[in-house]
Amino acid sequence: MSKNFKESFEKTRTAGIIAAGALDEVSKIAQPGVRTDEIDKLCYEYINDHGAYSAPLFYRGFPKSCCTSTNHVVCHGIPSDKILKEGDIVNVDVTALKDGWHGDTSRTFEIGEISVKAKKLVRTTYDAMMKAIKIVKDDIYLGDIGATIQKHVEAEGFSVVQDFCGHGIGQVFHKEPNVLHYGKEGTGEKIKAGMIFTIEPMINLGNYETKTLKDGWTAVTKDKSLSAQFEHTIGVTKDGCEIFTLSKNK
């Protein structure tokens, strides 16, 4: 690995560990009765206390430090006084900016006991992300990632959101390439060792279509069906990839 990769990998790893640590803290309070703005406060403080900045805060006018996307919210939910209740699912998406580099990760948390269907949706979304991460290495195609996710998800009867995608990341929060979570093997750009990007599939129980609410951020499923998401930031190596945003607890 060139000297350049070394610095970008080290710095993204440092940011990624902070972002994952914030979600580990969130997992402790993600219970019935918690408000989404309490989750936001915890993320803000954890990230600050670790010498980093919450990249979502004021990003293109976003008002909070993380995204909290509940039930039929696909992504970019804005933390508020909304109280989470038994049976909800909530995706919490955090991005730490440390020493000029970003680490971006999200998990969907189960609030108390959730339905069997919701559990299957959350499980399938996580498995689809991990399956895609496992095929990543130097010289595969971006389309291989999308195809892996789409096949896994559609076999379970769920659908892949097309309006949002993973992204290159580094000193810039969102950059090329776009990492689609659907597609065909052997198509698109080839990925190369040293590239750093996110894989962050949003998977719906019903139809794949989304719309954005009047607040300009909150994306929801058009049919109001449940949506789940997980996200890791990864760095491509010759024979595989490094996940920068792994939890220390797993």
Catalog residues that contact ligand MF3 under the rule CB under 6 A.
56, 59-60, 62, 67, 76, 93, 95, 104, 200, 217, 231
Q: Which is nearer to ligand MF3, 109 or 217 (CB)?
A: 217
Q: Is 198 in the site for Co ion (CB under 5 A)?
A: yes
Which of 88, 93, 110, 144 contacts Co ion by CB under 5 A?
93
Q: Which is nearer to Co ion, 168 or 206 (CB)?
A: 168
Q: Which is nearer to Co ion, 120 or 175 (CB)?
A: 175
What character string, x for contact with Co ion (CB under 5 A) and - otherwise, covers 97-136? -------x-x------------------------------
Residue closest to ligand MF3, measured at CB: 56
Q: Is 199 in the site for Co ion (CB under 5 A)?
A: no
Which residues are paired to 75 by β-bridges?
219
Given Co ion, ligand MF3, none, residue 144, with its beta carbon under 5 to 8 Å by kind, binds: none
Written as one string, the DSSP assignment of the chain is --HHHHHHHHHHHHHHHHHHHHHHHHHHH-STT-BHHHHHHHHHHHHHHTT-EETTTTGGG--SSSEEEETTEEE-PPP-SPBP-TT-EEEEEEEEEETTEEEEEEEEEE-SS--HHHHHHHHHHHHHHHHHHHH--TT-BHHHHHHHHHHHHHHTT-EE--S--EEE-SSSSSEEEEE-SS--TT-SPBP-TT-EEEE--EEESS-S-EEE-TTSS-EEETT---EEE-BEEEEE-SSSEEETT--TT-
Given ligand MF3, Co ion, none, residue 59, with its beta carbon under 5 to 8 Å by kind, binds: ligand MF3
Given Co ion, ligand MF3, none, residue 62, with its beta carbon under 5 to 8 Å by kind, binds: ligand MF3
Q: Which is nearer to ligand MF3, 59 or 141 (CB)?
A: 59
Q: Which is nearer to Co ion, 54 or 112 (CB)?
A: 54
Amino acid (one-letter) located at 102: H
- For the CB of residue 60, give the shortest distance to ligand MF3 in the complex, in Å: 6
What's the token pair of residue 161? 């959101």
**Could you list the residues that contact Co ion (CB under 5 A)?**
93, 104, 106, 198, 231
